[in-house]
Amino acid sequence: ACDDTNIFITPGFEFRVVDLLLTNFHLPKSTLMMLVSAFSGYEHIMALYQHAIEARYRFFSYGDAMLLQRRLASETETIATC
């Protein structure tokens, strides 16, 4: 039988195992952008992307990478919604 899952990681999700994430710069409004925002915090990710644009980093699959640290549960932020 086929079943669907209702798992979707969005900002506010509490990661319990992973502390660091090595990834590239993702397309805006993608599910991968949601993942890194959930992992490291939306405002933090937006600041990183602003820096990357200003510094002319390369984006997407063959571009530059970033090492992200997990946002701690004690850190609070306002999460933007679309």
Per-residue pLDDT tens digits of the chain, which is 82 residues long? 677 777 788 888 888 889 999 999 998 888 899 999 999 999 999 999 999 999 999 988 888 999 999 987 666 554 444 3
Residue with tokens 């992992």: 39
Output the pLDDT for position 74: 64
Output the pLDDT for position 29: 87
Output the pLDDT for position 3: 75
Output the pLDDT for position 82: 37
pTM of the model: 0.73
Using CA atoms of 68, 60, 45, 78 in order, give the dihedral in degrees to the nearest 10: -130
